[in-house]
C-alpha cells in the first residue's frame, strides 16, 4: 500500500516558528519521523512521499492551501494518507485535520491522524476522520509511530476499513438515541446507588473534560516585566472594521496601542453579544485596563507590550477557543512577553 505522510515544517526539518508560514511542499519518499514509520511498516506498506507545510499556513491562507494540498494529493497517487504524530500541538493538529478532511471528503482517500486526545483539534475533527491517540509530547514519538504502523497494517488487512478498527481509535463522539426498557429516573437512582456502594457504574452522558491551566512562574530579568493585555470581551476599533463576531468567534485580532494614552469611546467599542455593553462602550478601559497599565508603565513597574489582543468568548466552541488561545500565546511568546492580563465579561 502506498502511504503519503503529512508533517508540519518542524518535523519536516524546515525550521521552527520562523518557517511556520511555509507553503505546502511535496518530497518523494519518507523524511523526518516518516523514515522510522517506513521501517516499521515492513513489506505491507511503503511511505512513497511526504507532504508538509507550515503550521500557520492553513489558518492564514485557507482557500489557497486547500487548492495546493488537493493538487499534491492527486499527483501522489497515494492509497492512504497519514498525518502526525501531532501530539498536543494545537496548530499542527488543526492542519492535520484540514488536510485529512480534504483528502477523504474530496478525493475519497482513506486517512489517519495520530495526536493526543488532549489536542484541541480532536473535538473538531474526530467525527470526520479516524484519530489514533498518542502521548502529549514528543517523548512519545517512538510509541506514536509504532501505533501508526500497527494501525496502517491492520487497515490493510481489514475487510471494512476503519469501522473494523474502532477499538484502536479515539471515539468519534457521536451520540445515538437508544430505547431502554427502564425509565430514566430509575436508571439515575440505580447509578447513584452503585456510586454510593462503591460498585462500578458508567454514565449515559459523559461530560466534557475541561483543562485546568496552572499559571507559570514569571521569569523576568529586570524589575519591569513585559506585560500584554488580552480580552475575550469583544473589544474592537469603532465600527468593527475587521468584522469580529459578536458570538461564536472563529478569529482574533491585535491592535497597536503604542501611541494611545487611553481607550476612548470614539476609538473603540465592545461588540460582545449577550451582555449589556453600555458601560464598557462609555469607557472601553473598563473592558481592558489600558489606562491603568500605562500608569504602571509610567511609574516604572511594568513594560507594556505594544499590541492588545481581542476575541469574543460568547458561545465559543471549546476547540476554537483553544486554537485562538494557542495562536495568541505563540505570538506573545515570540514577542518576549512575560505576563498577561486577560480580562473577561
pLDDT by residue (tens digit) across 271-311?
A: 998 888 999 999 999 999 999 999 999 999 999 999 999 99
Architecture field, domain 2-168: 3-Layer(aba) Sandwich (3.40)
Give the domain ranges of the chain: 2-168, 226-343
pLDDT-derived band of residue 222, with 50, 70 and 90 as boundaries? low
Distances (CA, A) of 261 to 5, 111, 254, 292, 323: 51, 52, 17, 10, 31
| pLDDT at res. 142 | 95
Q: Quick one: what percent of the chain has pLDDT higher than 90?
A: 66
> DSSP per residue over 114-152, as a string?
EEETTSTHHHHHTTTS-EEEE-SSGGGHHHHHHHHHHHH
Mean pLDDT of the 33-54 span: 95
Mean pLDDT of the 315-342 span: 89
Whole-prediction pTM: 0.60
Amino acid at each position: 500500500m502506498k502511504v503519503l505522510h503529512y508533517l508540519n515544517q518542524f518535523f519536516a526539518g524546515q525550521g521552527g516558528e520562523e518557517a511556520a508560514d511555509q507553503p505546502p511542499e511535496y518530497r518523494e519518499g519518507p523524511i523526518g519521523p516518516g523514515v522510522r514509520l517506513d521501517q516499521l511498516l515492513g513489506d505491507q506498506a511503503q511511505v512513497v512521499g511526504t507532504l508538509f507545510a507550515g503550521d500557520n499556513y492553513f489558518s492564514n491562507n485557507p482557500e489557497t492551501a486547500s487548492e495546493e494540498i488537493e493538487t499534491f494529493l492527486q499527483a501522489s497517487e497515494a492509497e492512504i494518507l497519514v498525518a502526525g504524530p501531532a501530539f498536543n500541538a494545537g496548530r499542527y493538529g488543526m492542519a492535520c485535520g484540514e488536510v485529512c478532511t480534504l483528502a477523504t471528503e474530496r478525493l475519497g482517500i482513506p486517512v489517519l491522524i495520530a495526536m493526543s486526545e488532549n489536542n484541541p483539534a480532536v473535538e473538531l475533527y474526530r467525527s470526520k476522520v479516524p484519530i489514533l491517540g498518542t502521548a502529549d509530547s514528543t517523548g512519545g514519538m517512538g510509541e506514536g509511530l509504532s501505533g501508526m504502523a500497527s494501525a496502517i497494517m491492520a487497515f490493510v488487512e481489514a475487510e471494512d476499513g476503519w469501522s473494523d478498527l474502532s477499538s484502536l481509535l479515539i471515539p468519534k463522539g457521536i451520540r445515538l438515541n437508544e430505547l431502554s426498557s427502564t425509565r430514566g429516573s430509575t436508571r439515575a437512582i440505580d447509578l447513584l446507588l452503585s456510586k454510593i456502594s462503591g460498585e462500578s457504574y458508567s454514565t449515559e452522558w459523559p461530560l466534557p473534560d475541561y483543562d485546568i491551566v496552572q499559571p507559570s512562574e514569571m521569569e523576568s530579568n529586570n524589575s519591569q516585566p513585559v506585560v500584554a493585555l488580552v480580552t475575550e470581551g469583544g473589544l474592537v476599533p469603532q465600527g468593527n472594521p475587521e468584522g469580529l463576531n459578536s458570538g461564536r468567534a472563529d478569529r482574533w485580532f491585535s491592535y497597536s496601542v503604542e501611541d494611545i494614552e487611553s481607550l476612548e469611546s470614539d476609538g473603540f467599542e465592545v461588540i460582545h453579544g449577550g451582555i449589556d455593553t453600555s458601560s464598557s462602550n462609555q469607557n472601553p478601559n473598563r473592558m481592558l485596563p489600558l489606562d491603568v497599565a500605562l500608569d504602571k508603565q509610567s511609574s516604572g513597574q511594568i513594560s507594556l507590550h505594544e499590541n492588545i489582543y481581542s476575541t469574543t468568548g460568547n458561545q465559543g466552541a471549546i476547540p476554537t477557543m483553544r486554537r485562538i488561545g494557542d495562536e495568541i500565546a505563540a505570538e506573545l511568546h515570540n514577542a518576549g512577553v512575560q505576563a498577561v492580563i486577560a480580562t473577561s465579561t
